[in-house]
Each structure stands twice: as C-alpha cells, then as structure tokens.
Amino acid sequence: MNNVRIAGVGHYLPNQVWTNHDLEKKIDTTDAWIFSKTGIRQRHIADPSEATSDLALYASLNAIKNAGLHAEDIDLIVLATSSPDMIQPSTAAILQGKLGAVNAAAFDVGAVCAGFVYALVTATGMMRAFDQYKNVLVVGAETYSRILNWQDRTTSVFFGDGAGAVVLTRSKEPGYMGHYLMNDGLGWDVIKFPAGGSRIPASKSSLEDGLHAFQMDGKKVWDFAIKAMPQAVRAAAKDAGCEVSAIDFVVPHQANINIIQRSMKELGLPMEKTYPTIEHTANTSGASIPIALSFACQNGKVKQGDLVAFVGFGGGLSWGSAIFRWTK
C-alpha cells in the first residue's frame, strides 16, 4: 500500500457577507437566537456570477499552489457537494476544465455534510491501491444560498457558501492512519433537497413551495449529530490504532458550535484541540471541514507530527471520520 499525506490546503469564501442583523431585516429571527443556538454571526454568499465550480476553482488554486504543484500535476479530482452546478455533469468535471487539470479524472461524491470525509477517504483509498494516482485534489464546495428557501427560518439561518480543498500526495511516512464511514438510510428524509428523480410532483414555483428547497428537521439532526460525531472519531481512532486522547487536533464539520462543544467534551478533548470557524462562515456543508482546516493552518494551530481527526455528519444520514498524521 502506498502512503498518502496532505501536502496542500486552501479555501475560498465569497466577498459578500450577510450578518445575522441582515437576516433580521428579511425574516422573523434575531441575532441573539441564531448565535445562542448555533454560534453563527455571519455567512458568505456567492455572487450571482459565481457557481459552485467557481468557488471550488479558487479554493483548488490555493491548495495546489500551497502544495507547490501545478494543475497539470493532478491525476484525479474528487469533489464533495450537495449543491452542484448541475445534476449532470459532475461539478468535478466542470472544475477540471476550469483548472486546466488536463491529466486528471474527475468525479463527485454525494454524502452531504459528511461529503468531504467520504471524498478524502475515497481519494486516499484510490491512491493507496493504484499507482497511477500520485497527486489527488479533494474539494468541498457549496452554494447553499441557491437551494435554501430564505423565508424558512428553521433552515436558512444555518447556512453559507464557500469552498475548501486539499492536495494529497505520496509520502515515505504514513500520513493517512485510519478511518470510519457509516450511513443510516432510514433517516434519509431528515435532511433533503428533492431533485428530478424524486416522487414529489413538479411545481410551478421551484423553491418557494418549500418542497423544492433544502429541508432539515433540526431537532432530529441534533439527536443524530451528538452521537455520530464522537462515535465516528472513536471508531476512526480504533482503526488508526491510537487512543482518542492521543489526537492532537480535531477538524469537525461546522454545523453548530453547541454540537462541536458537546462532542469534544464527550470525547474528553479540550476545545483548544479544535479551531471553530462557524461564527464567520456558518454551515458550509461539504465545504466546512477543508475551510476549517485551512483557517487552522493559517493560524498555526496544526503542527508537524500532529494526529489530526476530520469528522463529518449530515444528510443520508451519513457520518464518518478520517485520521491523518500531519507531515506537511
């Protein structure tokens, strides 16, 4: 098996920012409610001229540069999104064209907010198994502002737009240590965005009827997430052959600060071992983990030799964790 490490990290957040106070003017909500329930103060919103693939492009350029590589060096692009440019082709395919990654295969992974962890594990597995994948770009990119019904305050206030990316390369020492992925399809309707293949009849107004917008049962998500996040980290640590207490840094999905705090406590890990970005970015679904990693790296929170656990959970219901030794 080939060893795989993370060699480059990057992110992109659109320029436009909507604060909770901006939302107070549009819908029946308050900054106090949103902040106390989620830890969110603001979210970035993509410009109408920016597609999910554009956000992915800017994050990818940063990650490839950070790895000291060029787009032509990339052999494979694995992109996690649940707000793709189109149902078909894949957003990874569109990104590949925009990047000029002329030597790369490309495909999307759909596991909603756990998508980045699924993509990271998929890419790592392909690199470990097959010699032809030497430099792989793993991206999370989302424009939830396009799939939300902004009038539905029980979902809209949680989300924002953004993209993050990592470049995986071969290494002498193990970077990748272990992982855990799981799904509970009986909970498929807790988080959903119906598409052309669903049984729901087409409607004249696409998003406003509430059927053709993103939908979430927040309380059911809470019950699921507070169990899934610690369980995934414990299972990944077991697979990696380490104790949870040996983990130096956790990069969790940025869904809700209260879920992060509760899960870190449950794992017996202090909050100093994570670096939340949710206050500034809100929940960027499949993009939140690489964005949070990028901010942590920029702020010197991840050190050479650290054991880093990535953990995601969301629609599916899907969840998972991957553990890497930081050897960047």
Ligand X SMILES: CC(C)(COP(=O)(O)OP(=O)(O)OC[C@H]1O[C@@H](n2cnc3c(N)ncnc32)[C@H](O)[C@@H]1OP(=O)(O)O)[C@@H](O)C(=O)NCCC(=O)NCCS
Catalytic residues: 113, 253, 283
Residue closer to ligand X (CB basis): 8 or 314: 314
Distances (CA, A) of 197 to 25, 186, 200: 36, 19, 9
Residue closer to ligand X (CB basis): 31 or 239: 31
Using CB under 6 A, list all residues that contact ligand X: 29, 33-34, 37, 113, 153-154, 157-158, 216, 218-219, 221-222, 255-256, 259, 283, 314
Residue closer to ligand X (CB basis): 227 or 303: 227
For 35-46, the DSSP string reads: HHHH---EEEE-
For 88-100, the DSSP string reads: SS-HHHHHHHHHT
Residue closer to ligand X (CB basis): 193 or 222: 222
Q: Where are the alpha helices (DSSP H) in 86-148?
A: 91-99, 115-129
- Measure the CA–CA gap between 17 and 103, rounded to whole angstroms: 36
Tally Cβ neighbours within 10 Å of residue 25.
7
Query: Looking at residue 71, what DSSP letter applies?
Result: G
The distance of closest approach from Cβ of residue 113 to ligand X in the complex, given in angstroms and rounded to an integer, is 4
Tally Cβ neighbours within 10 Å of residue 50.
19
Query: Looking at residue 274, what DSSP letter applies?
Result: B
- Measure the CA–CA gap between 93 and 79, rounded to whole angstroms: 9
